[in-house]
Amino acid sequence: MPADPAGAAPVGWPTPPPGGYPPPEPDRLTRFVLRLYERSPRWAVPLAAVGCVAAGMGYALLSNPTYADPDAAPTCLLKLTTGLDCPGCGGTRALWYVLHGDLPAAARHHFLFVFALPFLAYLFVAWAGNQAFGWRLPELRISSKVIGGFLAAWLAFSVLRNLPWAPFTSLYV
pLDDT tens, position by position, 70-95: 566 667 777 778 877 777 888 888 89
Helices (H), the chain: 28-39, 44-63, 77-82, 91-99, 103-109, 111-133, 144-160
Q: Rounded to a whole number, what is the distance in angstroms from the first to the last CA of the chain?
A: 53
* DSSP summary character for residue 169: G
Q: Which residues contact 4 (CB under 8 A, 6 or more apart)?
A: 10, 11
Residue 18: pLDDT above 80? Answer: yes
pLDDT bracket for residue 63 (50, 70, 90)? confident
Other C-beta atoms lying within 10 Å of the C-beta of residue 50 = 14
pLDDT tens, position by position, 109-141: 888 899 999 999 999 999 999 988 888 999 888
How far apart (Å, rounded) are the C-alpha atoms in residues 58 and 54?
A: 6
Q: Would the pTM of this model clear 0.95, i.e. be above it?
A: no
How far apart (Å, rounded) are the C-alpha atoms in residues 147 and 112?
A: 13
Q: Indicate the SS3 state at residue 43.
A: coil
Q: Higher model confidence: residue 6 or residue 53? A: 53
> What residues does each domain of the chain span?
46-66+79-171
Please, what is the average pLDDT of the chain?
A: 84
